[in-house]
Amino acid sequence: MASAEKLLEIKNLKQYFNMGKSNEVRAIDDISFDIFKGETLGLVGESGCGKSTTGRTIIRLYDATDGEVLFDGDNVHGKKSKADLKKFNRKMQMIFQDPYASLNPRMKIADIIAEGIDIHGLAKTKAERNNKVYSLLETVGLNREHANRYPHEFSGGQRQRIGIARALAVEPEFIIADEPISALDVSIQAQVVNLMKKLQKEKGLTYLFIAHDLSMVKYISDRIGVMYFGKLVELAPANELYNNPLHPYTQSLLSAIPLPDPDYERTRVRKTYDPIVHQYTDGEKLEMREITPGHFVYCSEKEFVHYQSISMK
């Protein structure tokens, strides 16, 4: 159950990559949002929109170009000692997109899962270490016999469960799931997402869930943010976003979701988004504005008035 207490605050975050003398890529371009304890914030958008870069910058795999990431009030990108970084790395973990590339093929599963346990000294004896590994394997739906096997002996879904067990090993507060189901079959995707929901309820975890699949994001998320070309263009409670999308880009994404209804699919009209056509800026400043309580859209003052009039109908 999400609380009103902020766990993570993103303030004017920027992540620019210099690809040459005159080629600067603004992967994250001045975005701000909060994540509350116990909630799942979904982050969606097309490939290249900056959502994975956002996750990697939050966890400090990339140094931010500008802005702040505050975790429990502490600046993630501030100057930190090795001890501070070690403490931070225990509180925040990541589940990676590719369950094949994210596990060292030369390490046994027990050693992969226990790597964090060893680094943080969470087991005093080998027996305690093994028991923690066995418990984590059972938590994610595997069994202790899997501990002595290698990654190549597992399916994609099983490997992702191992990745989840590894993330849980250090008892984190916050997990960034970077497209954790995109490489999996549809039936396995549901199993992994259900596992994540179960673990969140049992352990009080907070998630940033990054994905392409809008249907799955709606299922797991309390709130959803939509990114487009490095900008956060809409942020709202999951049901509100699906039932009342305001930004034209969000509308275009939702119009592309297929439904198991042949009659609907025959007549479905997909909306396209053209930023030049859809923005009524007239040179006005674009910023995140609250249209209705909890529903924010990146827009101009003129667009703000327009969106408010739509929401009041």
Find the CATH number of the domain harbouring 216. 3.40.50.300
Q: Are 204 and 239 in contact (CB under 8 A)?
A: no
Residue whose token pair is 């226990």: 114
- 150 confidence band (pLDDT: 50, 70, 90): very high
Tell how strand 206-210 and strand 40-44 pair up.
parallel
Give how many domains the chain has, as a whole number. 2
Question: Which two three-digit tokens encode residue 215?
Answer: 């249907």
Q: Are 23 and 71 in contact (CB under 8 A)?
A: no
Question: Does residue 23 sit in the same domain as residue 71?
Answer: yes
- pLDDT tens per residue, range 260-289: 888 878 888 888 887 766 665 566 788 999
Question: Does residue 238 sit in the same domain as residue 249?
Answer: no
Residue 1 lies in a domain: no
146-166: average pLDDT? 94
Question: Which two three-digit tokens encode residue 231?
Answer: 């900008």
Tell how strand 174-178 and strand 206-210 pair up.
parallel
Give the Cα separation of 121 and 74 in Å (integer).
23
- pLDDT tens per residue, range 35-55: 999 999 999 999 889 999 999
7-21: average pLDDT? 89
Q: Of 243, 273, 288, which closes a domain?
A: 243
The per-residue pLDDT for 20 is 67
The per-residue pLDDT for 261 is 81
Percent of the chain exceeding pLDDT 90 equals 67
Question: Does residue 161 sit in the same domain as residue 276?
Answer: no
> How would you label 88-97 residue by residue, b for 16+ Cβ within 10 Å and e otherwise?
bbbebbbbbb
pTM of this prediction? Answer: 0.91
- Boundaries of domain holding 47: 6-243
